[in-house]
Amino acid sequence: MLVQKDRRPAIGRVLFCGRGAYMKNKLLIAGTSLLAFVGGQLGAACAADVALPTKAPPPVAPPAYDWNGFYLGGHLAYAAGSSHWATSGATGSFGLYQGFEAFKGTGSYFAGLQAGYNFMLPNRLLIGAELDGSFPSFPNKAGVSIGGSSALASPFGAETYQETMLSFGTVRGRVGYAPSHWLFYVTGGFAWTYNRLTLTQLANGLTEKQFLWRSGWLAGGGVETAIAPHWTARLEYLLTDYAAANVTFPSTRQRFNSDFLVSELRAGLNYRLDDQPARTANDLSFAAVRTDNFAVHGQSTFLEQYAAPFHSPYVGQNSLIPNQGRETFDITAYLGWRLWQGAELWINPEIDQGFGLSGTLGVAGFTSGEAYKIGSSYPYSRLQRIFIRQTINLGGDSEKVEGAANQFDGSRTSNRLVLTIGKFAATDMFDNNKYAHDPRKDFMNWALIDTGTFDYAADAWGYTYGAAVEWYQGSWTIRGGWFDLSVSPNSGDLDASFGQFQWIAEIERRYELWGHPGKIAVTGFLSRGFMGSFQDAINLAQASSGPANISAVRKYQSRGGVSINLEQEVTADLGVFMRAGWADGNIEPYEFTDVDRTVAAGLSLNGKQWGRPGDTFGLAGIVNNISKVHQQFFNDGGLGILVGDGTLPHPGFEQIIETYYVFPLFASRVTFDYQFIVNPGYNRDRGPVSVVGARMHLEF
């Protein structure tokens, strides 16, 4: 039977069909609704995987800097102030401010170290405690660093009264608020100082010195900010009032009562010790300051030497003394600021203390490059380097540069021009040798770390003002420099007029020999200044029947010299080096040491051969000599920079052997050193001498 389809709309069918049809359609609607619901849920699930336009969440603020924990640091500062004094029949006062003398390195500035602990409350209120120690600059000619003097008339005649700080420190609390990576604080507490007081009678030159501990209080405030992970920088002002104290000078029984008020402006850096990653016992160095524009490095070196008893039939003013030990200590900060593309500013404040053997006298090839010509029993501060370096890339292969002392990390091209101006050491760039150049890491003897005849311009600490240019092109480098000489030979002060100066030139060739790198360099210098000729001094001594006096015959003239410097890698673990030099032996050396001819050679062997790749063994020999007229000058009682036994009847070559072994110990490197010296000071009547030494060096 034919069945005709119902063509009415479905809704009509729902509305107008019978009851069975109605129930059937009702189920259909319910099923459709269920499918719609399930489809909606599946659509929502799929939408989670489809990137649909949505409103971005608000940015998350970085966590606030955590100031909690222990920290260590250093500071560089300038001081001023006043002292009021009274004695029987006289009163007076003097200021403590001393202006900075760039060519003498003096002034009322100081450097020091601090350590402390911060505790921050949940509301970012900070409570802390800190202690510090500070050391003034090297005293000026009057013997003053942070201090002053007064003239007075007393029953004993005209006198001068003087007081200067030798060392000082504080123990104080801090309270501040740290809204983020900035900290604003006030500080106050206990202060102490150790001062030297001097009374001089002008009529007879009698000078008495007394030492005084002072104590008092301090108050101040400052601001500190985070500059890198673990590192913060600060600027603070402190006012210190030391209580009135008195001292009596024994010879005159004069009693002085005085106060001492000091104002300080300090800039400092702190390193937070908390949250350190796990490290091995031999890897305890601080994390570096890594920013685009600033860099901080540092080092500390302690060196002890002992000269054993030796044959010494006579002793002169500049003789090496038998059976004597001496030590030196220094700590240096290398603070860098990237000025613009390729330009760097570096400042190196340093704290020094100690003496070389016999006051750094007695051997032309002196035994310790860590010993300066001027020593001190008390620690003092110096600004050893302040210079700007500009590097101009000229093409060639790109070289990666690792960050180090006085060097930013980055890259440079193999062909480049480097310009340096300011205060630095001429040996920072001239007469370099990778196996023998750093008395803090390798050999110690002066005639090994530098060529003995290289009479480079320098003050008594080895630094001077000048300018240098270096042109690197392929395997060649040409260097030239102009440097300021000291005011007189072997002086601690530089010539502010630059009327006495030195030219230095060097040509260097790098090469490979059987696949191992090597280098040869020829260095020449020409000094222009007031220097004495040995023959003139001898003639004057014969005419006056006195000892030869080189200072009495000085006139403006020139002295030059030339040297050769070779280094060669033999294997990956073994390197050899050689130095040789000649200088004019008719005119006195100006700055370095008493050597007219020299030859030195040695080797450096890494400990990988015996399973200790962190160790190094070194061995070297030196032969120094002087001209015949130079020998006669010493025989006539003349004194040189380091040498002068009062007589030299039997001159001979000064011969030295040095050997050392260095190994890592925790965060430091420890060295044991031995030197054997034949004919110290060219004198066959004295010696031979055995000198043993130990050195501990830390870099951070």
User: What digits encode the pLDDT tens for the residues 28-58?
Assistant: 333 334 333 334 443 443 334 444 455 556 6
**Residue 17 has what pLDDT?**
34
Mean pLDDT of 60-89: 89
Query: Would the pLDDT of 61 be above 90?
Result: no
What integer is the mean pLDDT of 259-263?
A: 97
pLDDT for residue 274: 74
d(CA 183, CA 177): 6
pLDDT of residue 165: 97
> Mean pLDDT across the stretch 206-229?
94
pLDDT digit string, tens, across residues 438-483? 999 999 999 999 999 999 999 999 999 999 999 999 999 999 999 9
Quick check: 102 pLDDT over 80?
yes
For 551, residues 6+ apart whose C-beta sits below 8 A from its C-beta are: 488, 532
Could you give the angle at which helices 628-635 and 534-544 cross, rounded to 10 degrees?
Answer: 30
**For position 394, what pLDDT does the model report?**
96
Beta bridge partners of 343: 340, 390
The pLDDT of 329-341, averaged and rounded, is: 95
Where does the pLDDT of residue 64 fall: very low under 50, low under 70, confident under 90, or very high at 90 and above?
Answer: confident
pLDDT per residue as tens digits for the range 152-178: 998 888 999 999 999 999 999 999 999
Q: What is the mean pLDDT of the chain?
A: 90
Residue 677 Ramachandran class (φ > 0 left, ψ -120 to 50 alpha, else beta):
beta
pLDDT at 619 over 50: yes
Q: How far is CA 225 from CA 55, 231, 272, 293, in A?
A: 36, 9, 12, 16
Q: How confident is the model at residue 14 (pLDDT cuts 50, 70, 90)?
A: very low
Angstrom distance (rounded) from CA 700 to CA 698: 7
- Residues with Cβ within 8 Å of 391's Cβ and at least 6 positions away in sequence, in order, are 342, 343, 344, 412, 416, 417, 418
In the chain, the percentage of residues whose pLDDT exceeds 70 is: 89
179 DSSP 8-state letter: S
Over residues 188-213, mean pLDDT: 94
| Region 635-662 average pLDDT | 97
Higher pLDDT, 536 or 273: 536
pLDDT tens-digit map of 476-500: 999 999 999 999 999 999 999 999 9
At 262, give phi and psi (nearest 5°). Answer: -125, 135
Band (205; pLDDT cuts 50, 70, 90)? confident
* Higher-scoring residue by pLDDT: 385, 275: 385
On the question of pLDDT at 151 being above 60, the answer is yes
pLDDT at 41: 40
φ/ψ (deg, to 5) at 673:
-135, 145
Share of the chain above pLDDT 90, in %: 83
What was the pLDDT predicted at 332? 97
Tell me, what's the pLDDT at 542? 94
| pLDDT for residue 571 is more than 60 | yes
pLDDT above 90 (res 89): no
Cα→Cα distances 543→537, 540, 637, Å: 10, 5, 14
User: Which pLDDT score is estimated for 62?
Assistant: 61
User: What was the pLDDT predicted at 45?
Assistant: 38
For every residue of 35-94, DSSP letters joined together read HHHHHHHHHHHHHTTS----PPPPPPPPPPP---EEEEEEEEEEEEEEEEEEETTEEEEE
The pLDDT score that the predictor gives to residue 700 is 83
Domains along the chain with CATH numbers: 69-272 (2.40.160.20), 294-699 (2.40.160.10)
